[in-house]
Structure 1
Amino acid sequence: MADREERRFAEVSRDSVKLMAESSGVELGDDVAALLAEDVCYRLREAAQSSSQFMRHAKRRKLTVEDFNKALRWSNVEAISGYGSQDALPFRSVKEGELFFVEDRDINLIELALATNIPKGCAETMVRVNVAYLDGKGNIEPQGTVPTAVQSLSEDLLKYYQQITRAILGEDPHLMKVALQDIQSNSKIAALLPYFVYVISGVKSVSHDLEQLNRLLHMVKSLVQNPYLYLGSYVRSLVSSVMYCILEPLAASINPLNDHWTLRDYAALLLSHIFWTHGDLVSGLYHQILLSLQKVLSDPVRPLCSHYGAVVGLHALGWKAVERVLFPHLPAYWANLQAVLDDYSVSNAQVKADGHKVYGAILVGTLTL
């Protein structure tokens, strides 16, 4: 076993990176070229590993260009063009040095232009639209980056989208309930998924309104529970929006009369539901969630409401998350929390009340161990 040959990988050299940069008119230093070469090697190995998974799922032993392009699309990288030919590439060598290149064949542009068999483009058709603000006023000006869809929306789908968003973000609770039930069971709204995800990503713009945040979280739940939707890469965006409601010091939390604690509890349960039902769609999602919760919990500058969100989030993910993140950090955190609870000054009354919330969440969380 000790004599087994060490696994080797193909590497892109520093000189190759510098040569590519110089061909584009960019001069790189040796240190920068070395870092770029290392990153390029990692990205290529990652893409090769992902493409090999597509190959195995297709029960093939030969890796194709389409497998590689699928891996690139899965990583939100534009697919490569011009390498889908089934014919072997004719390589030629240069006598002056050890250099090999692909020989370009001559193409008759007239014959190509007049050909009846038009080649299919590799890029998918995309459209851009304006999405209404979350204020319910129907403003159709763009708010940030607008989502892209892989197909044009029909007039019926566009009307459906407008009515659903107005019902969910409107003031009629009955219409909101009907709209949420519909997107939870509708089998024909796959084309609208990017638009719904984009609306949900606007949680930051309504952090002052607990009611709107609660409606958006219910919208997330309805999409997650729809058995006809494949969330795919949108899981990460949904998790990010839910994590915002759990961890961030919302503008609504400034007023002690606002019950943002219940919102964080619901968001934590929703985060757990998303992970256990769709977590396998995103590689490393569990580790990323734990890392975010740990980062907030270990930051003494963050307010206690954020610490509370981190604790209830860990508790919602199960005893393994509590044992892995909360339990090792508890001795150091407990001393700081105890100092807050022992301060009986009038100016510390609100902070102390928040501390008791965190204290109760820790007790509930540690009961799972």
Structure 2
Amino acid sequence: ELSHNVAANVTEKTAARFGRCCRDAAKHCVGRTAGQRRVSPQAVCGYGSQDALPFRAIKEGELYFQEEREVNLVELALATNIPKGCAETAVRVHVSYLDGKGNLEPQGAVPSAVSTLTDDLLKYYQHVTRAVLGDDPQLMKVALQDLQSNSKIAALLPYFVYVVSGVKSVSHDLEQLHRLLHIAGSLVQNPFLCLGSYVRSLVASVTYCVLEPLAASINPLNDHWTLRDAAAMLLSRIFWTHGDPGSGLYHQILLSLQKVLADPVRPLCSHYGAVVGLHALGWKAVERVLYPHLSTYWGGLQAVLDDYSVSNAQVKADGHKVYGAILVSHGGGDGAGGRAEGGTRRFIIAGRQVGRRCQGRLFQTSFPQHHGPGHVSRYAQKLPMIGRTARPPRRWARSEYSLGLLL
């Protein structure tokens, strides 16, 4: 038997050694886990079953072991369903909306659970959408003003973005397209909203209005050119206010405009949208995309403008639109005269389609004059003048600058 003092001394040393062993074991586990993370080993197959492991006890004592079934090598050799190798590790992503609640719709579906919002937000969403898409212009103006200044509608951002994405379904209605662009503009101007990942969704919807041949553009009486101008300005505003330089949004927009401009199959209204889009993004975009492509593009445009057949009247009118947009982006008309009294500086492209049996139709397009910096003239390219000059041009009774074209 040990004395009390010896037992106390042995107990103290034993406790110290036991604590040291526990700490060493913990260090070993932490180091092993960290090492495995650095090495990043492949997933181990065969040990991830959710079924309970069967255990059996031996007859000689209370000893349990995992039961393993016997494998018949003959059946395995003659089997036709040869197991394949381990599949590659994959990651599946599921999107949750708003406050983190998982959506019940299939992956990629638009959230229809508007009822998850509070009653006040739900009423606000319904009233604003009905006011903007309704028939009362004064009510629409009030709704848009509140939409661009309300600080408590962050939860409604994905729903309004979804409303704006409906431009494809109303491409036949210019008025509805203008109203959807107004909603997008109000969201962009709201200083309390962080668009975040919704910027690309808005850019896609606005770019559709700029570049695509809308169903409303089939009728020449529909002024879809104004819609493209407004959408181009909104596209520029979205980029300059919410575009992250590191996100690649600028290059994505330029690539979309360049593809449309370089595609000769696209209609002239799409080419017009590409030109006004480049002009809205600034002179650097014009210098980077339009100027290098202008010498190639001008041949096709000149062929359209030199076609004097009456059947080509509408296409030729669209060609004048594209030509005027190129002049505006180029800075054409600078220094042609002073500012008109009481008005903005503008210039006009006008002309008449002349046929053998009829006078044809009159073309007249007014463009705002370029007020960009003076360095644009450094990249000036001499654009060929269109039209015949054998007869004196008609004097248009307007205070703005005019480019008379006798076609």
Q: Which category of TM-score, normalised to the shorter sequence, fits these structures?
A: 0.5 to 0.7
Does 2:264 align with 1:300? yes
| CA pair 246-27 structure 1, distance change in 2 beyond 3 A | farther
| Paired position in structure 1 for 2:237 | 273
How far 1:366 sits from its partner (Å)?
Answer: 1.5
3-state secondary structure, aligned to 1:363: helix
Work out the CA distance in 1 between the residues paired with 2:287 and 2:245: 25
Q: Aligned residues, how many?
A: 257
Larger fraction in strand: 2
User: Which TM-score applies when normalising by structure 2?
Assistant: 0.58
5 Å-filtered alignment, 1:158-307, equals: 158-280=122-244, 283-307=247-271
Tell me which of 99, 104, 125 is aligned to 2:101. 125
**2:119 maps to 1:155:** yes
Q: Retained in 2: the 8 A contact 1:269–1:313? A: yes
Q: Look up the equivalent residue of 2:173 and give its one-letter code.
A: D
- With normalisation by structure 1, the TM-score equals 0.63
The secondary structure found in structure 2 opposite 1:351 is helix
Give the distance between the partners of 2:229 and 2:237, measured in 1 at CA.
13
| Shift in Å, 1:11 | 11
| 1:152-178 deviation line (CA, Å, top 9, x unaligned) | 301111111011101001111111101
In structure 2, what is the equivalent of residue 343 of structure 1?
A: 307
Instruction: Please tell me whether the aligned partners of residues 128 and 146 of structure 1 are also in contact (alpha carbons under 8 angstroms).
Output: no
> Does the CA-based 8 Å contact 1:126-1:149 persist in structure 2?
no
Task: Report the counterpart of residue 358 of structure 1 in structure 2.
Answer: 322
Q: Are the aligned partners of 1:235 and 1:282 in contact in 2 as well (CA < 8 Å)?
A: no
- Distance in 2 (CA, whole Å) between partners of 1:11 and 1:287 is 37
Preserved CA contact (<8 Å) 1:245 1:263: yes
Distance, in Å, in 2 between the alignment partners of 1:246 and 1:221 is 15
Identity over aligned pairs, percent? 75
Give unmatched runs, 5+ long, in structure 1: 1-9, 44-75, 80-122, 130-143
Contact 2:114/2:122 (8 A) holds in 1: no
Q: Distance in 2 between matches of 1:170 and 1:327?
A: 43
Unaligned segments of structure 2, at least 5 residues: 1-37, 49-81, 332-375, 380-407
CA distance in 1, matches of 2:192, 2:113: 18
Between the aligned partners of 2:287 and 2:83, the Cα distance in structure 1 is 50
Larger Rg: 2
Counterpart residue identity of residue 327, structure 1: Y
SS at match of 1:280: coil
Pair 341,147 (structure 1): closer, same or farther in 2 beyond 3 Å: same
| Structure 2 counterpart of 1:125, one-letter code | K
> In structure 2, how many angstroms separate the alpha carbons of the residues matched to 1:12 and 1:343?
68
Contact 2:165-2:205 within 8 A present in 1 as well: yes
Checking the alignment, whether the CA contact within 8 Å between 1:126 and 1:151 is kept in structure 2 is no
